[in-house]
């Protein structure tokens, strides 16, 4: 049997032989693209080539790309595990032509690869082409049809509609007609009965699409219209796991060697047996085998689970997996992290980033699992309650294989409030609630949930929705050159602009022909500054990148957008940022020297005020370590090391020992920042000081934990460090002044603390004496009510604790007794009620009940406690006498 590894290799070799350059997969987590959280197709990393924002280095490439389809336009999550051919994360094999070959070659090669290299049975293949769309004014794709006719009999070429045969990446962006290849994997007996042609694109689990050839010709604009792209391209995507399944002759992706290892490991851990069926237990096996890949590869690419955005997507996938093993494999401890070593090893040759960070990823996964398992049980109980309230018999917390038979109750709803409570209090992502609901034949009131969700969002922050208009293009095919490494001012032109609206405010985004403004990336914030048009200055408030497009943010447009413009960076701010960026490199190297080579960057923020550096490390960084790190960095500053920046090939850089970041996309040529080749070499696109001496001084402000296995250091350097020191001195000066300028400040503070302690003790002992006197006075006042000894008094004490203690001490009474004490403490009512055990037993009185039913109202407050001793507090201290009378009456 051909292994999956060999199948992948053959794909790449085939396209290499057709003149394609093989490139690495882009990270699965997308940066610098507001329309995508994750890579959802092989073409994402090439988007700029299609849009004409960047020149491709070579016109033909091929690769295998890690994709995730769990959010946005392509979301397959609910199918995953339930069916046998949709995954959350999957590999997309692809070949591309950037304005080079078109339909004829793409079609001929896909046929050649499938039938001659992989030797698929031609009688099991069908292809589809776009039938056209009147509304969009698009004709049928007869060109593709004619090309196919050269290879496959006409009755196997089917026309498909816009949904299946017009591919779009998202709501806007590159798109075009496509041609799919489907395989009929049914046994011959079934094929004889039903013509495979009728099952194409009909969700039949054995008649599946494996490859899509997209002919990229259009750009979908915001108003939904289609604009032609500058050039025609080919973008293909073949599902690797599906291809393997077809070649290996299996009826499910999970029966291929891509997944059987994980499934066997899960069997060993849980003691259960996987069978390829529709039972919930089977689904659970598939869910785990699938989800562990999505979870571990996204974490390895630098995205930690969190409560928002991409991090929340990962958290949702992980929680869905936990729920499946907990409920259907009856496994109640963290399981996923145990599968990591196997996955890491399996993919070491293709995506080595996982194995390189195996311990770190395992730790993050395990802690996430533990945290969710702690609330899962409570949440499942709560769901059971909700479900039984709807009238259906709940089994959300079922812990053995449940049957999938339908229940009688239909049409009932889990309302939005309940779904939101599950989300907010128990951490149940909505898709988990939806899943459990559907297992019980219920639906979730999604609209109601959305309303609750929106209300919460509004409570926490104003809506952040951004409304972006289409670009107004002044100059076609302009590729911005970034000149900000060498100059902070340049004469240039606006090449395009657009209007955006956020939080009800209008703003503008401008793209320049050449820009000195550094666009936010690699943790370094974007530049600000000025755009001087003929006699008119426009302020640049930020600069960001969208893929490779440099965008200047402004609050207005100039009168004459066509005028030449002088773009000038705010230089003082830039140099403060640069100091922090260079300090970050010195810090990174120091961390690896002091803590160990396991330290890897997990995030950073560099701005004019400070730097923030997140890194993998499993323990708190001790004070001694922090001091050592700080000293090392300051030593490197004093050595005034020149900062050397070079461009070289990636391989050369890695050979030099450069630190590359996980989840970062690097081209063939990389920029390397060197501060002493024996100390710090990093791949970095940021801007830096000329020599480390410019930093002046480095000071760590704070060390903390951000997530499982990730620590954070916040620090300052340059002018910000000077400011920090001045502030500290000022604090000390003010403290001295408050203490009347003592000779030794610390001694004076110690004395003050000791004195205050002394006074506190004295006060406590005085109060104790006072309470003893008071207690004796009260014992003198015992009266008898209905055969019960009774003490009731409004007393003067200084604290609620004192009142309670005083009341408690009255326990020295014998036989049946009751006491009620009330006090006005700082204008508020405090009450304590004491009952003898005998009284509780014989008369059925209870102190908390008395408070709740008879006292709370009088003092406008409430309280509670033990049956024999309870206390209460309230706003109204004017009825204390009435409280005493009331309790007396109850006897
Ligand atoms: P389907 O209709 O089966 O969901 P699709 O139309 O969404 O497929 P494309 O967007 O054209 O698929 O993606 C190209 C190829 O990627 C498909 O032909 C298929 O082989 C594969 N693919 C798509 N989605 C998934 C998924 N969720 N899991 C595994 N493979 C997938
Ligand atoms: Mg799909």
- Looking up tokens 């996987």 gives 274
Average pLDDT over residues 751-777: 92
For residue 630, the CA-to-ligand 2 centroid distance in Å is 52
Q: Based on the fold, state whether residues 124 and 186 are members of the same structural domain.
A: yes
**Ligand 1, atom 21: closest residue by C-alpha:** 239
**If you take atom 2 of ligand 1, which residue's CA is the nearest one?**
209
Q: What is the DSSP letter of 751?
A: H
Judgement on whether residues 144 and 179 belong to the same structural domain of the protein:
yes
Identify the nearest ligand to the CA of 241 by its number.
1
Taking the CA atoms of residue 44, residue 45, residue 50 and residue 55 in that order, the dihedral angle to the nearest 10 degrees is 170
Residues sharing a CB contact under 8 Å with residue 798, sequence separation 6 or more, in sequence order: 767, 825
Q: How far is the CA of 467 from the centre of ligand 2 (A)?
A: 27
- Final residue of a structural domain among 569, 586, 614: 569
For residues 482 and 422, membership in a common domain is answered with no
- Whether 690 is covered by a domain: the verdict is yes
**76 Cα to the center of ligand 2, angstroms:** 7
Residue 397 — very low, low, confident or very high, per pLDDT cuts 50/70/90? low
Instruction: Answer whether residue 430 is part of any domain.
Output: yes
Per DSSP, the residues of 199-242 read GTTTT-TTEEEEEEEEEEEEEE-TTS-EEEEEEEEEEEEEEHHH
pLDDT at 707: 86
Pair (232, 287) in one structural domain: no
CA–chain centroid gap for 816, Å, is 63
| Ligand 1 atom with the shortest distance to the CA of 164 | 6
Residue 790 lies in a domain: yes
Identify whether residues 139 and 54 lie together within a single domain: yes
Q: What is the pLDDT of residues 850-889, one digit of tens each?
A: 999 999 999 999 999 999 999 999 999 999 999 999 999 9
Residues of the chain with pLDDT > 90, as a percent, come to 74
**Same domain assignment for residues 195 and 310:** no
Interacting residues of 232 by C-beta distance below 8 A, sequence separation 6+? 99, 102, 215, 216, 217
- Helices 745-780, 800-809: axis angle to 10 degrees equals 40
Q: Ligand 1 atom 7: the closest Cα is on which residue?
A: 74
* Residue 601: CB atoms within 10 Å: 22
| Smallest CA separation from ligand 1 atom 4, residue | 86
Give domain status of residue 623, yes or no. yes
Residue 178 assigned ligand-binding role? no
In the reported structure, the alpha carbon of residue 86 is separated from the centroid of ligand 2 by a whole-number distance in angstroms of 8
Q: Which ligand is nearest to the CA of 65?
A: 1
Rounded CA-CA distance 442/410 in Å is 6
Residues 6+ apart with CB under 8 A from 422: 379, 382, 383, 386, 428, 433
Asked which of 197, 230, 258 is the last residue of a domain, the reply is: 258
Q: Which ligand is nearest to the CA of 163?
A: 1
**3-class SS of residue 385:** helix
> What pLDDT is stored for residue 668 in this prediction?
82
Report the chain's C-alpha Rg in angstroms.
35
Cα(92) to centroid of ligand 1, in Å?
9
258 CA from centroid of ligand 1 (Å): 17
**pLDDT tier, 577 (very low <50, low <70, confident <90, very high otherwise):** very high
Q: Is 793 helix (H, G, I), strand (E, B) or coil?
A: strand
Q: Using the atom order of ligand 1, give the atom closest to the CA of residue 181.
A: 18
382 & 397 share domain: no
Among all bound ligands, the one having the nearest atom to the CA of 70 is 1
Residue 744 placed within a domain: no
pLDDT of res. 399: 43
Query: At 208, phi and psi to the nearest 5?
Result: -125, 155
Is pLDDT of 136 > 50?
yes
Q: Which atom of ligand 1 is nearest to the CA of 209?
A: 18
Least confident of 178-182, 381-385, 491-495: 381-385
Tell me the CA–centroid distance for residue 258 and ligand 2, in Å: 20
- Give the residue among 481, 608, 461, 469 at the shortest CA–CA distance from 542: 608
CATH number, position 692: 3.30.980.10
Residues 232 and 155 reside in one and the same domain? yes
Annotation-wise, does 688 bind a ligand?
A: yes
Q: Are strands 861-865 and 869-874 parallel, antiparallel or unpaired?
A: antiparallel
Res 95 pLDDT > 80: yes
Q: Is residue 742 part of a domain?
A: no
- Which atom of ligand 1 is nearest to 69's Cα? 27
Which residues' Cβ are closer than 6 Å to ligand 1? Answer: 69, 76, 86-87, 90, 92, 167, 209-212, 237-239, 241-242
88 and 225 fall within a common domain: yes
| pLDDT-derived band at 382, boundaries 50, 70, 90 | confident
Minimal CA–CA distance to 245: which of 87, 129, 108?
Answer: 87
Pocket test for ligand 1, best of 95, 164, 239 (most atoms within 8 A of CB): 239
Write the CATH number for 237.
Answer: 3.30.930.10
Which ligand 1 atom lies nearest to the CA of residue 87? 28
CATH assignment at residue 782: 3.10.310.40
Residue 296 CA, ligand 1 centroid: distance in Å: 21
Nearest-CA residue for ligand 1 atom 19 is 239
> What pLDDT is attached to residue 400?
37
| Predicted TM-score (pTM) above 0.85 | no
Of the given ranges (354-363, 445-454, 510-519, 642-651), which has the lowest mean pLDDT? 445-454
pLDDT given for residue 615 in this prediction: 95
Number of structural domains the chain divides into: 6
| End residue of a domain, out of 361, 388, 415 | 388
Q: What is the mean pLDDT of residues 541-557?
A: 93
* Residue 13 sits in the same domain as residue 151: yes
Say how far apart CA 794 and CA 778 lie, in whole Å: 10
Dist CA 188 CA 390 (whole Å): 47
Q: Residue 243 CA: which ligand 1 atom is closest?
A: 20
Same domain for 367 and 423: no
Q: What is the largest CA-CA distance in the chain?
A: 114
Q: Which carries the bigger pLDDT value, residue 338 or residue 457?
A: 338
pLDDT of residue 560: 93
Are 710 and 785 within one domain?
A: no
Q: What integer is the mean pLDDT of 513-518? A: 97
Q: Domain containing 511 — which CATH number?
A: 2.40.30.130
Ligand nearest to the CA of 178: 1
pLDDT at 170 over 60: yes
Residue 634 inside a domain? The answer is: yes
The residue segments making up the domain with residue 708 are 575-728
Whether residue 754 lies inside any domain: the answer is no
Q: Is pLDDT above 90 for 332?
A: yes
């Amino acid at each position: 049997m051909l292994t999956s590894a060999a199948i992948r290799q053959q794909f790449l070799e085939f396209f290499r032989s057709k003149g394609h350059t093989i490139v690495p997969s882009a990270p699965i987590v997308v940066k610098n693209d507001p329309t995508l959280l994750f890579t959802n197709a092989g073409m994402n990393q090439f988007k700029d080539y299609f849009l004409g924002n960047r020149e491709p280095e070579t016109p033909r490439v091929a690769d295998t790309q890690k994709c995730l389809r769990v959010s946005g336009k392509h979301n397959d999550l609910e199918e995953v595990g339930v069916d046998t051919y949709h995954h959350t994360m999957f590999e997309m094999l692809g070949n591309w032509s950037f304005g080079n070959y078109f339909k004829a070659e793409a079609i001929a090669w896909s046929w050649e690869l499938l039938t001659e290299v992989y030797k698929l049975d031609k009688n099991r293949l069908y292809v589809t082409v776009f039938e056209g769309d009147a509304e969009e004014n698009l004709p049928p794709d007869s060109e593709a049809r004619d090309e196919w006719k050269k290879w496959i009999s006409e009755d196997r070429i089917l026309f498909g509609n816009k949904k299946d045969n017009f591919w779009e990446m998202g709501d806007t962006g590159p798109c075009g007609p496509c041609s799919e290849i489907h395989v009929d994997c049914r046994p011959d007996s079934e094929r004889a009965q039903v013509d495979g042609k009728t099952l194409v694109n009909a969700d039949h689990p054995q008649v599946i699409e494996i490859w899509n050839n997209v002919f990229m010709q259009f750009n979908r604009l915001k108003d939904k219209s289609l604009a032609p792209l500058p050039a025609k391209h080919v973008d293909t995507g073949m599902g690797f796991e599906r291809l393997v399944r077809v070649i290996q002759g299996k009826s499910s992706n999970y029966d291929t060697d891509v997944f059987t290892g994980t499934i066997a490991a899960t069997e060993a851990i849980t003691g259960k047996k996987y069978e390829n069926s529709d039972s919930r237990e089977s689904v659970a096996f598939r869910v785990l085998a699938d989800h562990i890949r999505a979870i571990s590869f996204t974490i390895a690419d630098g995205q930690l689970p969190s409560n928002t955005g991409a991090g929340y997507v990962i958290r949702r996938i992980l929680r869905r997996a936990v729920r499946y093993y907990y409920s259907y494999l009856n496994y109640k401890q963290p399981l996923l992290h145990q599968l990591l070593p196997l996955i890491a090893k399996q993919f070491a040759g293709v995506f080595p980033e996982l194995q390189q960070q195996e311990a770190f990823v395992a730790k993050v996964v395990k802690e996430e699992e533990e945290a969710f398992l702690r609330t899962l049980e409570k949440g499942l109980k709560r769901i059971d309650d909700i479900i039984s309230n709807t009238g259906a018999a709940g089994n959300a917390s079922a812990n053995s294989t449940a049957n999938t038979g339908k229940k009688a109750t239909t049409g009932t709803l889990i309302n939005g409030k309940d779904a939101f409570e599950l989300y907010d209090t128990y951490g149940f992502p909505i898709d988990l609630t939806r899943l459990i609901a559907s297992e019980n034949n219920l639906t979730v009131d999604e609209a109601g949930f959305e309303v609750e969700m929106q209300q919460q969002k509004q409570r926490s922050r104003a809506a952040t929705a951004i409304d972006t208009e289409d670009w107004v293009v002044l100059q076609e095919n302009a590729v911005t050159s970034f000149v900000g490494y060498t100059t902070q001012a340049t004469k240039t032109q606006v090449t395009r602009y657009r209007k955006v609206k956020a939080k009800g405010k209008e703003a503008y985004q401008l793209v320049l022909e050449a820009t000195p403004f550094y666009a936010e990336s690699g943790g370094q914030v974007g530049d600000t500054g000025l755009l001087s048009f003929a006699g008119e200055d426009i302020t640049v408030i930020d600069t960001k990148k969208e893929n490779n497009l440099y965008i200047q943010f402004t609050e207005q447009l100039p009168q004459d957008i066509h005028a030449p413009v002088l773009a000038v960076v705010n230089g003082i701010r830039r140099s403060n940022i640069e100091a922090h960026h260079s300090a970050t490199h010195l810090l990174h190297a120091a961390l690896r020297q002091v803590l160990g080579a396991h330290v890897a960057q997990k995030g950073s923020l560099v701005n004019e005020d400070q730097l923030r550096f997140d890194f993998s490390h499993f323990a708190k960084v001790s004070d001694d370590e922090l001091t050592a790190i700080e000293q090392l960095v300051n030593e490197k500053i004093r050595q005034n090391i020149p900062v050397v920046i070079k461009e070289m090939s990636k391989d050369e850089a890695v050979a030099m020992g450069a630190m590359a970041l996980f989840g970062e996309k690097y081209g063939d040529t990389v920029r390397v920042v060197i501060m002493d080749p024996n100390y710090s070499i990093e791949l970095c696109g940021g801007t830096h000081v000329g020599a480390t001496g410019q930093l002046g001084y480095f000071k760590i402000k704070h060390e903390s934990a951000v997530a499982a296995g990730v620590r954070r250091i916040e620090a300052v350097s340059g002018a910000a460090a000077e400011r920090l020191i001045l502030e500290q001195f000022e604090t000390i000066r003010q403290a001295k002044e408050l203490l009347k300028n003592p000779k030794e400040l610390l001694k004076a503070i110690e004395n003050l603390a000791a004195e205050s302690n002394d006074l506190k003790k004295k006060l406590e002992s005085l109060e104790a004496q006072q309470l003893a006197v008071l207690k004796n006075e009260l014992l003198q006042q015992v009266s008898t009510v209905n055969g019960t000894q009774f003490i009731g008094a409004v007393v003067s004490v200084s604290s609620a604790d004192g009142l309670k203690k005083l009341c408690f001490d009255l326990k020295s009474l014998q036989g049946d007794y009751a006491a009620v004490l009330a006090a006005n403490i700082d204008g508020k009512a405090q009450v304590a009620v004491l009952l003898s055990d005998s009284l509780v037993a014989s008369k059925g009185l209870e102190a908390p009940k008395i408070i709740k039913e008879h006292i709370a109202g009088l003092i406008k407050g409430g309280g509670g406690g033990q049956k024999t001793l309870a206390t209460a507090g309230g706003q109204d201290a004017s009825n204390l006498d009435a409280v005493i009378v009331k309790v007396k009456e109850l006897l």
